Amino acid sequence: MTRRSPPRATARALELAAARYVERYGGTTHRLRAVLQRRLGRDPDADPALAATIETIVARYATSGQIDDAAFAVSRAARLVRRGVAPAVIRGRLGAEGLDAASALAEVDGDPGLRAASALVRRRRLGPYRATPDPAGDLAKLGRAGFPYELATRVLAMSREAIEEAARGPGARG
């Protein structure tokens, strides 16, 4: 069985790769650019002018609204907060993707730190969810997860009901 060589990098091939990627994943301008540059990097005979084509393609998808970095960042930040990821970790993850983490976290309802810490306490069965108390161990787990000491002690001192309400965020029902 012979191996197929990767398709030759042309402007048309890059257009098709971008369309397939955006249709399937959405994503960010940073990711789309990386996908197209990887495609270009596989072809040793690629025309250097194709690098400019990549920027044109990325700009077109961004201006058309098919890729919206700000909306993606807010969505990702909100999802990570619901999972119990500390805001400091979220800033690092979003920053690595070239996204504005500060404005994304500002868009999350309520206090993202409190919501995330509450979600983590609930998910990992720490504090009031624990059958046998282990305050030092719980505090250490929250610290390793990236939460500041003051926030960790405050959340661990809360009741189950208060943690449930904080994890849901303001205006949430149920």
47-74 average pLDDT score: 91
Q: Which of 69, 132, 73 is nearest to 105 (CA)?
A: 73
Q: Per-domain residue ranges for the chain?
A: 11-67, 70-168
The one-letter code for the residue type at 56 is T
- The mean pLDDT value of the chain amounts to 90
Whether the pLDDT of residue 173 is over 60: the answer is no
Asked if pLDDT for residue 39 goes beyond 70, the answer is yes
pTM over 0.85: no
Collect all residues with Cβ–Cβ distance below 8 Å to 33 and sequence separation of at least 6: 54, 55, 58
Q: Which residues are CB-contacts of 43 (< 8 A; sequence separation ≥ 6)?
A: 6, 8, 9
Here the tokens at position 41 are 């990097």
Residues 6+ positions from 54 with CB-CB distance below 8 Å: 14, 33, 36, 37, 40
Give me the residue label for tokens 């919501």: 115
DSSP 108: S
Q: What is the pLDDT of residue 50?
A: 85
Neighbouring residues of 85: CB distance < 8 A, sequence distance ≥ 6: 93, 116, 120, 145, 146
Q: What angle do CA 143, 147, 148 make, to 5 degrees?
A: 90
The reported pLDDT for the residue numbered 48 is 77
Is 101's pLDDT higher than 90? yes
For residues 149 and 42, give the distance between their C-alpha atoms in angstroms, rounded to a whole number: 47
Looking at residue 6, what is its pLDDT?
63
∠ CA 145-150-156 to the nearest 5 degrees? 70
